[in-house]
Chains A and B, each alone.
Chain A
Amino acid sequence: MISVLGQGVAGLCAATTLAERGFAVEVIAPASAPAAASDLAGGMLAPFCEGESAPPVIVARGHGAADWWAARFAGVVRRGTLVLAAPRDQAELDRFARATAGHVTTDPGVLEPELAGRFARGLHFPTEAHMDPRAALGALRGALIARAVPFRGGPPRGRIVDCRGMGTAAHLPDLRAVRGEMIEVSVPDLRLTRTIRLLHPRFPCYIVPREGGRYMIGATMVESARTGGVTARAVMELLSAAYTVHPGFAEAEVIATGAGLRPAFADNIPAIRRDGARLHLNGLYRHGFLMAPALAADLADILTDEFAHAD
């Protein structure tokens, strides 16, 4: 029996892969557990764009994520990412193009008619995808329950796989929090169909379309473990960036705001760590939905190997 602690993206991907590979699994998720940071994620599956600041391993291992999710969740939208910059920030676009691969230069208005005439050029990353992260996690949970994987509180009964993000910081002294803030708005009149990233030297942002005319606008990156609600400054920065993309955002209804703590190691690369008999899958940073499937596969390999040797 494997006891997966936590039901954020790390825990549910781990439990899913382990269950699919034939392990007996339980998910330990007490009702009192804090909400998962992944509930606030953008849900982008954008390995090339992340490569702007992430090391090559993230790009390489993130490639399989869109297929992995699409095999388990019907809501993966594969329309790519469109990267834009305001006219005076064109240097940012050039830098982004040099720092990444997998893109073509494009006329944004051709891809997204709502943007016609607003931006002279953009970068299109056609193979990238996005999805609603909460719906995707709901699909994993549903499939696990259908396989009779128990979700419960109480003490774990099996080998511990700890996927609790910042909730397990006491076990991982080099894990730090990187605060992120996001807002969700509703603008039914505005029709953007793919993830938009707006480059800015200080306030970069991304806009991820969701069903029903909703958009997720994120996300700040602050080297702080501060909990508590989204700051006015974050809301101002994110909304003004969204407004730069399309003035229609000024008429949006703000339907949610959120702030959470991303767990990160010093190199910002997600990792599996051993801690006695406990295995940690943690440090997903801003790459949770992109990297959790690859780490879950690594985890299943490790456990398969161990169980084989134990026989």
Chain B
Amino acid sequence: MFYGIDIPSRLMLGTAGYPSPAILREAIAASGAGVITVSLRREGGEGAAFREILRASGCRILPNTAGCHTAREAVTTAQMAREVFGTSWIKLEVIGHADTLQPDPFALVEAARILCAEGFEVFPYATEDLIVGERLIEAGCRVLMPWGAPIGSGQGLRNIEGLRSMRAHFPDVPLVIDAGIGAPSQALQAMEMGFDAVLLNTAVAKALNPVAMAQAFGQAVAAGRIAHKAGLMPPRDMAAPSTPLFGLAELADAL
């Protein structure tokens, strides 16, 4: 549940960088995504035609503050997003470094505090740092979005142990792996680890066939979620035969 809303699929899909809006629309449908994210910072009020296409997809929309570098910019963009889309959901992104696109945790917490007080339901894009996570929750966030790896890098879950700790540290907070996912196997892994959803964009948008890749991610996320709920067997540190050794014919003696 994300702010009281249960979404049918645990895949959240970004909408930037597709070959065309028509292919984007097909990709959304093929992925079965429960949520799509949309940026506003650069497109501004005049980006209405593209947003209309997204609205027509029928998918729940999570506007984002991609491209914002200060808390103030992010707050203004969030306020505009609420007006444009009529939703209090906002994926809060405050970039700390233009090259690595790492989140700025200080500005993030500051912006989250302002937005939560204004009644926004904030999805903050953060790192797997536990203290930053606590501060965000203290600010009023009810969802956290740790990165897998830097945006657009396709490196997957770069700090698996750190993410495992975060999952254990916040057992009741919905956690969404946001950014850095390059392959369906990586999304599946995140879901197997018990994360509540995966958000990605480039891996689908820049695939040679975005629609087919969207479908692959949809299936991977669904499989990972089922596997997590089914209860994965723990890895063992030695080979474990599944049939008893006793009673097997001792063929060597027969020779």
Residues of A within 8 A of B (CB): 53-55, 95, 98-99, 176-177, 179, 201-202, 222-227, 233, 264, 266-269
Contact = CB atoms under 8 A, between A and B. Distances in A.
Given A95-B206, A177-B49, A266-B25, A222 B43 contact: yes
A224 B206 contact: no
A227 B202 CA distance: 28
Given A54-B19, A55-B19, A266-B22, A223 B47 contact: yes
B22 A176 contact: no
B85 to A, nearest CB: 15
Complex A-B, nearest 9 residue pairs according to Cβ-Cβ distance, in ascending order:
A176-B49, A223-B50, A267-B22, A268-B20, A226-B46, A225-B46, A53-B19, A224-B43, A266-B22
Nearest to A234: B42
Interface residues of B, number: 20
B96 interface: no
A93 to B, nearest CB: 14
Given A99-B208, A222-B43, A176 B50 contact: yes
A218 B34 CA distance: 36
Most B-side CB within 10 Å, residue of A95, A224, A269: A224
25 contacts: A55-B19, A95-B206, A98-B208, A176-B21, A179-B46, A201-B202, A202-B152, A222-B42, A222-B43, A223-B47, A223-B49, A224-B42, A224-B44, A224-B46, A224-B47, A225-B47, A225-B49, A226-B44, A226-B46, A266-B21, A266-B22, A266-B25, A268-B19, A268-B20, A268-B21
B226 interface: no
Nearest to B53: A266
A177 B50 CA distance: 9
Contacts of B202: 201
Interface of B: 19-23, 25, 42-50, 53, 152, 202, 206, 208
B247 to A, nearest CB: 55
Contacts of A177: 46, 49
Contacts of B46: 177, 179, 224-227
B64 to A, nearest CB: 14
B95 to A, nearest CB: 12
A99 B210 CA distance: 12
Most B-side CB within 10 Å, residue of A222, A266, A268: A266
Contacts of B208: 98-99
B147 to A, nearest CB: 16
